[in-house]
């Protein structure tokens, strides 16, 4: 499987399960309605873990343009591969969101609140303050990037253990859970431009009854913030670990 297809499949699975848990919690008359933030953060953590296991062997399972750009910025990925990776991630995120729409088809009409419908697809701030929201997304993504690289660092691996292929994706999922619990409150922790922008576009295009707007004036925050954070986190890793 080439990296474009792997990143597309992996990101589609990520969004299907991640946006799916949000749909289960916020949409009306679901089995999981109003089950809360802990369920959402746990669901996203498991979505990341499963998606990484599925495509890690084929593309390294970036599933996130901020990770791709961060790795390229420190020489761990050829810049020539970046457009293909990001194209796959964006397409996969859009398709994953469409699958969530199909899976919860009767519940869109049962849910009156347009804000709840939008929340299934993309993030929004608890308190709208663009610079603060941008900083929160950058901080969360820097932690993500630093954590991913540290988990996979040769200095943290036992020789010939196969750790990076066996247990590391689960640790990445745990780290995403931690970010959601600790830093997700202000913005909903997009920490991934594709995860936010692809589903936001799906929200704008899909025939959702009573959906309202897609909040495009905010859309730049979960794109720019994570991209900056990914680069910062990668360079912090390089400064700390020297590799």
Give the CATH number, domain containing residue 31. Answer: 1.20.1080.10
Pick from 122, 137, 124, 133: nearest CA to 200: 122
Query: 205 versus 163: which is more confidently predicted?
Result: 205
pLDDT band at 242 (very low <50, low <70, confident <90, very high): confident
- What pLDDT is recorded for position 141? 98
Quick one: CA torsion of 67, 68, 69, 73, rounded to 10 degrees?
100
- What pLDDT is recorded for position 136? 98
- What pLDDT is recorded for position 210? 95
- What pLDDT is recorded for position 160? 63
What is the pLDDT averaged over residues 44-72? Answer: 97
Q: Confirm if 89 and 65 have CB atoms less than 8 A apart.
A: yes
- What pLDDT is recorded for position 165? 59
- What pLDDT is recorded for position 1? 81
Cβ-count burial 15-49 (b if 16+ within 10 Å, e if not): bbbbbbbbbbbbbeebebeeeeeeebbebbbbbbb
- What pLDDT is recorded for position 168? 86
Quick one: CA torsion of 24, 29, 31, 36, rounded to 10 degrees?
50
pLDDT band at 158 (very low <50, low <70, confident <90, very high): low
Domain count, the chain: 1
Token output for 48: 């990341």
Q: Which residues contact 242 (CB under 8 A, 6 or more apart)?
A: none
- What pLDDT is recorded for position 164? 57
Q: Confirm if 7 and 92 have CB atoms less than 8 A apart.
A: yes
Percentage, residues of the chain above pLDDT 90: 91
Q: Which residues contact 11 (CB under 8 A, 6 or more apart)?
A: 51, 63, 64, 88, 89, 90, 91, 92, 93, 96, 194, 195, 198
- What pLDDT is recorded for position 241? 80
Q: What is the mean pLDDT of the chain?
A: 95
pLDDT band at 162 (very low <50, low <70, confident <90, very high): low
What is the pLDDT averaged over residues 194-200? Answer: 98
125: domain range? 3-241
CB atoms within 10 A of CB 243: 12
């Amino acid at each position: 499987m080439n990296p474009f297809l792997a990143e597309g499949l992996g990101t589609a699975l990520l969004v299907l399960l991640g946006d799916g848990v949000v749909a289960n919690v916020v949409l009306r008359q679901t089995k999981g309605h109003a089950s809360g933030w802990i369920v959402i953060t746990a669901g996203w953590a498991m979505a990341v873990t499963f998606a990484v296991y599925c495509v890690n062997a084929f593309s390294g399972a970036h599933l996130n343009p901020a990770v791709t750009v961060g790795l390229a910025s420190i020489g761990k990925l050829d810049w020539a591969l970046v457009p293909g990776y990001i194209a796959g991630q964006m397409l996969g995120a859009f398709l994953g969101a469409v699958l969530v729409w199909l899976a919860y088809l009767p519940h869109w009409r049962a849910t009156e609140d347009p804000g709840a419908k939008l929340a299934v697809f993309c993030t929004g701030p608890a308190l709208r303050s663009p610079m603060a929201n941008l900083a929160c997304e950058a901080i969360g993504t820097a932690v993500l990037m630093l954590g991913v690289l540290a988990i996979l660092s040769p200095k943290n691996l036992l020789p010939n253990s196969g750790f990076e292929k066996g247990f590391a994706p689960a640790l990445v999922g745990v780290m995403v859970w931690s970010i959601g619990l600790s830093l997700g409150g202000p913005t909903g922790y997009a920490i991934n431009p594709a995860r936010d922008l692809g589903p936001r576009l799906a929200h704008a295009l899909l025939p959702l009854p009573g959906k309202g707007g897609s909040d495009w004036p905010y859309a730049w925050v979960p794109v720019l913030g994570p991209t900056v954070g990914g680069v910062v986190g990668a360079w912090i890793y390089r400064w700390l670990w020297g590799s």
